[in-house]
Amino acid sequence: MELSKHRAITSMAFDSVPVLPPELISEILTRLPVKTLLKMRCVSKSMLSLISNPQFIKTHLKFSINNQQFTYHKLLFRNFDDENSLNSFGDRYRILGSCDGLICISRDILDLFLWNPTTRKVKKLPSSGINVSCEHDVDFSYGFGCCTDTDQCRIDYRVVEIVRKEHSCINRYYVSVYSLRSDSWKRMEEYPSIVFWDHSGKFVNGKLHWSAEDRVSDSKSTFFISSFDRANETFGNVALPGPEGEFFDHEVGCSGGNLCLFCYFENKMDVWVMKEYDVAESWTKITSIPTKDYEAWPIFISRDDEILVHESRSLVWFNSRDNTFTRPEVRIRCDAANNLGLYNESLVSPYFLEEPIDQ
């Protein structure tokens, strides 16, 4: 009797719960964090189907990008106590870039992976076919980001691999482009003999960017930013800001969707931001960071122009308003800046998306 009564009460309770339209359910789920959505996949088959739907994944990603108050940057680093962290990639790994929650990682020489650390899905990329006989005679530069197929209105994620081989003191570059949608590489024509200073390009305004040098002669060099448009698969140049002394190194960065440049001097690092893309006059120096030595690498610039810097195997915050350093509450030890990465959590899978994107 008691059991029947309990069932009747339970049935009445569920009957009183309003049934929400599917569109409203999807709208609500779009605003939830990724980790919450991953747990909700176990609620029912219909919930799993909705959250796994490519169109929902792209809608959730678009909402996160357009609503920064719901978006948090995650700092990725090697955690020796977490078996699901970067440990699975071994000791010789390098973070090459991130886009839409996916992280591109290289291991050893030519092993490349796309990894979503939130969903823990990983894909090893096929070989580009570059023949590497001796690692010491070869340099690599990479880039990773997304692009849109303008003809079919489909999104794709692409990896650019630039390999420099030294033959009799002559540098030759071989450029290959990987498409996640087709899961294949395309070889481009050999690139001119310039020097890429960045091992990983920065994705800004739909293009990849590396700091570069054109060695006209033994005594003369031209410095610039080399860009690669993955939609058209063409290279271009971006002018550097006006000279403020002779720096001995420079690195390209990204902040808030703007192109950045970090110029290294003997005891300081100048931080520049291009306020309007590809307009040389829009370069603005936001601060100069005093450095103890050359090993100081900016990781992240906040909206308040606070800069997270990797220096002396640790992380520090630099406040550009009062020129002070503070250490984060959580101490992180990292031997190299290229073992650190920033990403936003997403449901994007390291496999191609089948649905066309919204117009």
Domain CATH code at residue 295: 2.120.10
Q: pTM (2 decimals)?
A: 0.81
Average pLDDT over residues 121-136: 79
Same domain, residue pair 186 and 228 = yes
> What's the pLDDT score for residue 143?
92
Residue 338 pLDDT? 54
Q: How many domains does the chain have?
A: 2
Which residue range is the domain that position 201 belongs to?
A: 69-344
Residue 214: pLDDT above 50? Answer: yes
Q: Is the separation of the CB atoms in 348 and 101 below 8 Å?
A: yes
Average pLDDT over all residues of the chain: 78
Is residue 133 pLDDT above 50, yes or no? yes
Q: Distance (Å, rounded) from C-alpha 50 to C-alpha 48?
A: 5
Kindly state whether residues 138 and 43 are assigned to the same domain.
Answer: no
Using CA of residue 36, residue 38, residue 39, residue 40, what is the dihedral sign? positive
Q: Give a yes or no: residue 272 inside a domain.
A: yes
Same domain flag for 59 and 107: no
CA–CA separation, 271 and 290 (whole Å) = 11
Q: Are residues 138 and 32 in the same domain?
A: no
Same domain, yes or no, for 38 and 166? no
* Model confidence at 235: pLDDT above 70: yes
**pLDDT of 196:** 78
Higher pLDDT, 138 or 207: 207
Whether residue 307 sits in one domain with residue 281: yes
